[in-house]
Structure formats: C-alpha cells, structure tokens
Amino acid sequence: MIQKLKLKNFRNFDLAEFLFCDEKNFIIWENWKWKTNILEALSLLSADKLNKIDFKNLVWENWDTFFIELTKTSWDIISISFNKEENKKNYILNWKKTTKSKIKSITTKSVNFSPITMNMMYLSPSLRREFLDWILLNTFDKYSIAIKEYKNILNSRNKTLKAIKDWKISESELDFWDNKFIYISKIIYNYRFWLEKYLKENITEARKYFFWKIQNIEFIYKTKIINNIENDIKEYLAKNRQRDIILSSTSIGPHIDDFDILLDWKSLIEFASRWETKSIIIQLKFLEIKFIEKYANTKPILLIDDFLSELDEKHKNLILDELNWYQTFITSIKNQENYKNPIILN
C-alpha cells in the first residue's frame, strides 16, 4: 500500500504532497491533466514502466530536474530523480542510492483503467495483444526478458528475409534465425497459453455485469498454433518461407495473434453493442487484477483515470463494490456522496 506521494517539478506540479488511505482515494478536479499526472507518478515505478517513459517529458517547464517520493505502509521510502541537462536518473531506497532493478523488485504493481481501455475491442488487434502482454509483464519478471528477446529475434529474421529478397545473402542463412525464432516463440506461447487458460476458465463471471441476461461467454485466443508449438511453427515457416521472403515479414507468432469474446456464440468484436463491450472489458480488467494477485503473490494498486464516466450507474456501483478489496486511486471531475476520502485539487 502507498501512504504518501511527494512531487517536485513533476509535470505541472512544482511542489505537492498527497496522503492516501488504504481503500478508495478519489482525486477530484476539473482539469484532467493534473489528476492524470498524479496517476502517472504512482504508476511510474511499477512493473516495466521505467523502460517505456522518456523522463525528459516529465520535468516541469523551466526546470532541469524532477523528484518523486513514495512512502509505503511497509515504511519503505522509494525515490526517483532525473536531471534533464545531464540525462541522469537516480534511484533511492530509504535515502540510499540503489539500482533500477532493486527498485522494480519492491515497488507495488499497478493495474490501469483508462478510457482507451474501453475501446480495446474496437481498435487494432495490437491493443488486445498489448493487454495480454501487460498482464504477463506485470506478473512474471522473466516474461519481460523473453518478450524483449522475441522482438529482437523477430526483427533480425525480418531483416534477413529482406536481405534474401534483395539477393544480398543466400536463403540458407534463414535457418539460423528460424531456429532461434521457434525457441523464443515457444517460451512466449507457454506464458500466453497459461493466461489464456485462466481467462477461459473465469470469463463467465462477467455474466453478473449483464445482470445474468447472457447465458454463455467464451474467451477465444486466435492463433495459428493448433497442436504443438514447436512443430506447428516449424512446419508453417517451411511451408510459407517464399511468401515471407517476398513480404520480408514473419507471418506466424505471438506478434500477430489476437483474441475475441463470444457472447451467446456471437463475436464481441463484430456484433456486440457498446454496453456489452463495456461489461466484458470490466471483467477482463478484474481478471487481470486477480491473475496478478494469484501468480505474482501480491495485491496490485488500481489506477482508474476517468473510467467511471464511461459507465452507467448500475455498472459503476458494481465496480465500486469490487474495489473494496484494493487500494484504488480514482480521478473524477466532481465529488459525489459515496466518494469517501476525496483529494480535491484547487
């Protein structure tokens, strides 16, 4: 749990300090940027976030450095500072300099609810793949290493395909990258199929968000892997080698997979209403929370950025009841009677 957050020259905060409770924390103000920046600070040190953010964009205008400090209920104090001029980051644990890996090992994991989440089923399949990968990255440290290696090998194989197409190297040089691609793909798929099994077994809990009007809900992972990961990829690569060379692209693997949800045997992507899609995504996010809690053996914090405004009162109340078991940070443009412990920004 997080007790306190201090910000100095971070985004549009020159100096600020916030105290939090262990349950729901409502962050209320009309300007969305200020509220979202607090959530960004809270999520900055969680999971793989440190590798994905350009710290130069986080420094408040006219300043060269920013500073963030989190105080946890364990009394650990985690700090991070960045000097824009020197392009230097400092990681501090209990007032002593430490490493990024040490910070990542003790930080609280987070699950983010945001408006773009509600469009996951309407937009590009890449958003749905990112959703699956983020759950796995947030749960298993080794998945981060595997996904990074997968991207590097995929990129190298595609470059080799283009070089063959351009008559710069012989086709036999592709064998090396095929073997490496099969090896790393097998690792990624083992994690993906573990998560797929969990979602298949638990997606039916979403019926409560339909107020039990839907009889059947199925999670469908869409992949070219049919029986055996290694054999299926090996056979597919061999059969489609010439096509891959022409396109300079690898046409099988986790990077092109997708998923869909069937509601009473109809595709959510193709046939569902906005209301039905919201209901399913709510369940997917709570399954994300429970998966992390079960397999990472830790209770994540929840960051909800203007997500409740997307929902009707019935769904909003269902979510608020579920949130009772987690420390939650919720942004809103207005206070309401059931919003306890509000942090009101003026």
Residues 6+ apart with CB under 8 A from 268: 121, 260, 261, 262, 276, 277, 280
Distance CA 337, CA 113 (A): 22
| 223 and 268, same domain (yes or no) | yes
Phi, psi of 288 (to 5 degrees): -60, -45
Mean pLDDT for 138-159 is 95
Of 245, 277, 309, which closes a domain?
277
CB 182 within 8 A of CB 235: no
The domain in which residue 202 lies consists of: 123-277
Q: Name which of 25-34, 53-62, 228-237 the model is least confident about.
A: 25-34
Give the predicted TM-score (pTM) of the model.
Answer: 0.86
Q: Read off the pLDDT of residues 260-297 as tens digits, 9 standing for 90 and up.
A: 999 999 998 888 777 788 788 888 999 999 999 999 99
Give the Å distances, CA to CA, from 112 to 44, 224, 251.
12, 30, 31
Mean pLDDT for 43-61 is 71
Q: Name which of 152-161, 233-242, 283-292 the model is least confident about.
A: 283-292
| 13 and 157, same domain (yes or no) | no
Give the CA angle between residues 107, 50, 303 to the nearest 5°: 60
Radius of gyration of the chain (CA): 23
Residue with tokens 């690569």: 237
**Does residue 306 carry a pLDDT above 80?**
no
Give the CA angle between residues 101, 289, 278 to the nearest 5°: 130
118 lies in a domain? no
244 lies in a domain? yes
Of 277, 309, 332, which closes a domain?
277
- CATH number of the domain residue 214 falls in: 1.20.1050.90
Structural domains counted in the chain = 2
Identify the pLDDT of residue 46: 65
**Does residue 48 carry a pLDDT above 60?**
no
- CATH number of the domain residue 319 falls in: 3.40.50.300
| 161 and 232, same domain (yes or no) | yes
284 lies in a domain? no
| 28 and 153, same domain (yes or no) | no
